[in-house]
Structure 1
Amino acid sequence: MTCSIDVSDLSVFAGQTRLMGPVSFRIAPGDTLVIMGETGAGKSLIAQAILGTLPGALRAEGRISINGRRVDGLGPADRAALWGHEIATLPQEPWRALDPLMQSFRQVAEAHRFVAGKAPAEARRASADAFAALDLTGAEQRLPGALSGGMAQRVAFAAATAGHAPILMADEPTKGLDAERHGKVVALLAQVPEAGGTLLAITHEVAVARRLGGDIIVLRDGSLVEQGATETVLAAPRHGYTRSLLDADPRNWPDTEPAATGDWVLKARGIAIERGGKRLIDGFDLTLLAGERLALVGPSGIGKTTLLDALAGLLNPARGEVQRSPNLSRHGVQKLYQDPPAAFPHRVPLDTSLRDVARLHNTSWGDVLSMLGQLGIDPALLARRPDEVSGGELQRISIARALTARPGVLLADEPTSRLDPVTQRETLALLASIAGSQGIAVVLVTHDRDIARKWASRTVALS
């Protein structure tokens, strides 16, 4: 039987530095391959190398065949001709894949029409069915920038699968989704091999890997550390790192010590928030104390990100008011964005972005490097642009950048959604330690109620 994907001795390099590999694997029609591993280990690089979309500064070596045809030597146009027809991808950053100026429904309908070759009316019907199946009813006319992270993820899923390509590569397909929609998306992914297609799924969630089954490869520091049947590897891992991934499930975290709190730093009174003419939140009250760790939970699309924008002063509430303590500086409220690539200038090296922030806030470069070191970021990465580092690396760099401003309030929108379980636990523990020592109040938006329960001293649920 011809393999859908056949990869032999694949490595990815930046100059002469090997970032990932070598790895080899085969996936047949009807099979699944799950890729797990630490943040920055090269999981997404494998998908990009297969698709032919590696950043210009990187190069791949090794053999890659798709449906029996070797593709690693093909030119960009020939590689692009495969997209949507033979192989489709659900990228880690949905906002990068969606046209920011096109309404969501139209983007999915165009995929049905021009990739799947359906007539206009049939394309519209298929898109409506997809929006209903993915709980996106009401989001049809919204631009991607008006969607929550979870909604954007589902719109990208609908567009990626419209062409019914026999191979689907899904890069962190469940990040930013609440429990109900998380389960629905995983069930849709599982239908791909059940229908005879081929699924390559990149995830840091052990539960997702278990549900999808098939085979698994585990990466650490760019190297393959374990490979085999998913059920076998997760039931009896041979490598210590694989065992640590299982142990780092938030349900197994120790309870954090209650934070020492001080005077109030932020107050919200009777807040009502609207977006696109729709009332999302009404009558919201909050008093946030210095040093407090508060978790904000609720379904995808309920308005958590919009509420953070109101607390940060980035939008005016329809009713009510937000008060800042007079002790807060002008830059005393900082926001960590759910989509880190959108928060960095795309063409500017990360080093330049961080040095500009450090200069603006009179923070020494040594302190910035120290913070990056605590977050596990190699300073050599700062020579790259935002699209040349992993999503998890950029997420941690964004945390360091926000803390460089010495905030009194940190509004953190899913700040660890792109991190593997081990790095997630370490990063949130560090954030709690820094917040406690510096008296920073942190509002953490998360879909994971286990994280909220273990990390925060108080939880506010939106419904």
Structure 2
Amino acid sequence: MTSVVHITNLSIGFPQNERANAVVHGIDLTIDKGETVALVGESGSGKSVTARSLIGLSGVGANVRADRFDIDGESVLNFGERDWRRLRGEKIGFVLQDALVSLDPLRRISQQLSDAFGRRGLFSRPNVGRDSHALLRSVGIPDPERRLPQYPHQLSGGLRQRALIATAIARQPSLLIADEPTTALDTTVQKQILDLLAERRKAGHTLLLISHDLAVVSRLADRVLVMQNGRIVEEGPPGRILSNPEHPYTRQLLDAVPSAGSRGFRLSPPSELHSRQQTARPPAEPVERLRIPLPAKHIDQENRVLSALNLFKRYGGAGGAFAVNDVSFDLAAGEALGIVGESGSGKTTVAKIVLGLVEPDDGTVFIGGEQWSNIPETRRRLRRASMQLIAQDALSSFDPRYTVEKIVGESLDSVGIFGASRRERVLEVLDAVRLGSAYLHRHPRELSGGQRQRVAIARAFAPRPRLLVADEPVSALDVSVQAQVLDLLAELQAASGTALLFISHDLGVINHLTDRVLVMKDGRIVEAGGVEHVFSAPQHSYTRALLDAVPALA
């Protein structure tokens, strides 16, 4: 069979200190024509830099070496920038995770497609419009006449991702690389993109998929390569890799996937086992799966921390659509309540109303039995310490000039803790999130994604809030780091008795972490109840559609 990619003994490092900063160590990678290969592994494993080496974008100063490096039968070992530009788009298309960042916000979709057609478009202008219409239809974008003159911000997340895929396949490249193409998408939109990629696979196109979502991999891949610390530690068909893994690191990745079966148990391994697995090279003897119970928590149903009664919120004036439409719920001390729904369902608007950042048009929010909504901010300010937020993007929520000590400490202003007492409390919560004093003087840019999220959690728990609102706090994390953060949240909630309002599009996370769930659609709660009951016996057709859209491990 013809190989689109044939690489042997690939190493990628950085010349300023190559030994210390090597990220890929002598791997072999072959992708046959019509094959879908998946690279999986946690952040820092080397999978994205490996994929980027296929288009000459490994990074500034990267030193890429290989015994053989062929793309579509052509050696690229001695390629210069002009050679790589010829290859990009013509032979390899690239789809990144965030379409809003990847697409030019100042150019219309039609202009970006014209660019993507490249020389063919320049020399055959009359065909660009026709080809653009056909291309948008091929990636499942309805009404291309209306979409072509629009800008990226005018498209939904799913349409933006489809438009990005369209730019990547405009010149019908031999290989499409998709780097985490569905990570930031909700369940139903994710299914649409996966269906599109599955159709291309069925049509015989060649795909390299980079993902930390093992369920996505099991659906699309013909072959899976598991990467750890720059090395491929296991390789094989997804059925075997995901059901009967040989390497302990692969088993660790599978054990970290949240689900109904993991409820009440830790997702991440004990630190000693984790260290042993990180350093293991050859496949080890099968290790019995360790399931360590999470600490028991106490839910005080008599202590209502949050009550929301008949909330309404409309944007765009009297004729606008309701973002929140007659929503009511309550939350007890020590309880975890999940809110799920696709983008635009109203779940984040509910969170903003609960936090007092947006006032409802009608209805009332009570915190601890006292009115919270539609009152002067001066009356709310003294009570704000009782609630805290963990945002999706920790880095954007930090002042980049602040050290970790100052980031965590600023949440203590509202409870009047200063001086030596402040440092003592900051150290206490940093220890609780397993960072410690070594991180006090670091800045956000010096932290990994998982470390930043731990700092965000430490900041939220520092003033000992009664209510914690977490809006997609793990959606951008790989499966191993996500497991650690979810374990941490569960442990801290059990120890503190804090009520948790957890918003996510990941039904596996909701199933694992929360006690009850609200399912929202078009601003309304269409189903509510205990998470096990709702997910095992859904009553509403929309809930069933959400569950059906979740990719399952093979």
Q: Give TM-score, length-normalised by structure 1.
A: 0.79
- Taking the TM superposition and a 5 Å limit, the aligned residue runs for 1:140-179 are 153-179=161-187
Tell me the residue number matched to 2:545: none
- Deviation of 1:26 (Å): 1.3
Larger deviation, residues 12-21 vs 409-418: 12-21
1:270 aligns with 2:271: no
Q: Residue in 2 aligned with 1:3?
A: 3
Residue 99 (structure 2) aligned to one of 94, 97, 100:
94
Does the aligned pair in 1 maintain the 2:136–2:144 contact within 8 Å? Answer: no
Partner residue of 2:299 out of 253, 256, 260: 260
Report how far residue 456 of structure 1 moved: 0.6
Question: Greater shift after overlay, 366-375 or 23-32?
Answer: 366-375
Residues 265 and 45 (structure 1 numbering): CA distance in 2 closer, same or farther, change over 3 Å? farther
- TM-superposed CA distance for 1:142, in Å, is 8.2
Report if aligned partners of 1:361, 1:404 keep a CA contact under 8 Å in 2. Answer: yes
CA spacing shift, 1:295–1:111, aligned 2, 3 Å: same
Equivalent residues in 2 for 1:285-304, closer than 5 Å = 285-304=328-347
1:360 is paired with a residue of what secondary structure?
helix
Q: Is the alpha carbon distance of 1:163 and 1:444 closer, same or farther for their aligned partners in structure 2, counting shifts above 3 Å?
A: farther
Give the structure with higher Rg (CA).
2
Query: Residue 222 of structure 2 aligns with which residue?
Result: 214
Pick aligned residue for 2:36 from 32, 38, 48: 32
Which residue in the other structure is 2:113 paired with? 112
> How far apart are residue 428 of structure 1 and its match?
1.2
TM-superposed CA distance for 1:421, in Å, is 3.8
- Could you tell me how far apart the structure 2 residues matched to 1:383 and 1:60 are? 28
Match for 1:431 among 462, 467, 489? 489
Offset, 1:285: 1.9
Shift of 1:344: 5.5
Report how far residue 36 of structure 1 moved. 1.3
Which one of the candidate residues 410, 429, 439 is aligned to 1:360?
Answer: 410
Q: Structure 1 residues 357 and 5, CA, compared in 2 at 3 Å: closer, same or farther?
A: same
Deviation at 1:129, TM superposition (A): 2.9
Distance change (3 Å), C-alpha of 1:411 and 1:213: same
Question: Are 2:212 and 1:200 aligned?
Answer: no
Separation in structure 1 between the aligned mates of residue 387 and residue 152 of structure 2, nearest angstrom = 26
SS at match of 1:301: coil
Task: Give the aligned CA root-mean-square deviation in angstroms.
Answer: 4.1
Indicate how the Cα distance of structure 1 residues 114 and 98 shifts in structure 2: closer, same or farther if over 3 A, else same: closer
Any residues of structure 2 matched to 1:304-323 within 5 Å, and which?
304-323=347-366
Deviations 1:257-290 (A, max 9, x none): 5543474444433333445644333111233334
1:335 equivalent in alignment to 2:378: no
- Residue in 2 that maps onto 1:20: 23
Write the deviation string for residues 54-90 of structure 1: whole angstroms up to 9, x where unpaired: 454x734323543234446545565355433332222
Instruction: Tell me if the contact between 2:233 and 2:247 (Cα under 8 Å) persists in the aligned partners.
Output: yes
Query: CA offsets per residue over residues 128-185 of structure 1, 9 Å max, x none?
Result: 6368558999999987668776665455445444454332211222324444443332
Q: 1:369 and 1:32, CA in 2 relative to 1: closer, same or farther beyond 3 A?
A: same
1:150 and 1:301 in contact (8 A); partners too:
no
Bigger mean CA offset, 284-293 vs 395-404? 395-404
Equivalent residue letter for 1:436:
A
Alignment partner, residue 79 of structure 1: 84
Hey, what does 1:187 align to over in structure 2? 195
How far does residue 239 in structure 1 lie from its aligned partner after superposition?
Answer: 0.8
Distance 1:145 1:406 in 2: 38
Write the mapping of 1:417-456 to structure 2, written as runs, cut at 5 A.
417-456=475-514
Do the aligned residues in 1 keep the contact of 2:133 with 2:145 (CA within 8 Å)? no
Matched to 1:7, the amino acid is: I
Matched residue, 1:62: 65
Deviations 1:359-400 (A, max 9, x none): 42355364464355369xx959966738x95x6665555445
Q: Please tell me whether the aligned partners of residues 259 and 293 of structure 1 are also in contact (alpha carbons under 8 angstroms).
A: no
2:51 aligned partner: 47
| Distance in 1 (alpha carbons) for counterparts of 2:491 and 2:382 | 20
Runs of 5+ unmatched residues, structure 2: 266-295, 369-379, 413-421, 522-554
Contact 1:7 1:62 in 2 (8 A): no
SS at match of 1:447: coil
Task: Give the partner amino acid of 1:428.
Answer: L
Write the deviation string for residues 282-314 of structure 1: whole angstroms up to 9, x where unpaired.
111233334321111123332323333333344
Cα pair 1:217 1:227 within 8 Å, conserved: yes
Change in CA separation of 1:85 and 1:316 when aligned onto 2, cut-off 3 Å:
farther
C-alpha distance 203-409 of structure 1, shift in aligned 2 (>3 A): same
Q: What is the alpha-carbon distance in structure 1 between the residues aligned to residue 55 and residue 21 of structure 2?
A: 19
Q: 1:129 is matched with which residue: 137, 142, 145? A: 137
Quote the Cα distance in structure 2 between the aligned partners of 1:275 and 1:124. 34
Whole-angstrom distance in 2 between the partners of 1:268 and 1:301: 20
State the 1:432 CA deviation. Answer: 1.4
CA spacing shift, 1:130–1:357, aligned 2, 3 Å = farther
Alignment TM-score, normalising by the size of structure 2: 0.68
Match of 2:469 in 1: 411
How far off its partner does 1:2 sit? 5.7
Using the alignment, how far apart are the partners of 1:421 and 1:151 within structure 2? Answer: 26
Query: Kindly tell me: are residues 255 and 439 of structure 1, through their superposed partners in 2, closer, same or farther at Cα, counting changes over 3 Å?
Result: closer
Partner of 2:533: none
Contact 1:85/1:164 (8 A) holds in 2: yes
- Identity, in percent, stands at 31
CA distance in 2 between counterparts of 1:394 and 1:259 reads 29
Alignment-mate amino acid for residue 323 of structure 2: L
How much has 1:210 moved relative to structure 2? Answer: 1.9
Distance, in Å, in 1 between the alignment partners of 2:326 and 2:191 is: 31
Quickly say closer, same or farther: Cα 1:143–1:367, change in 2 above 3 A: farther
* Cross-structure match for 2:434: 373
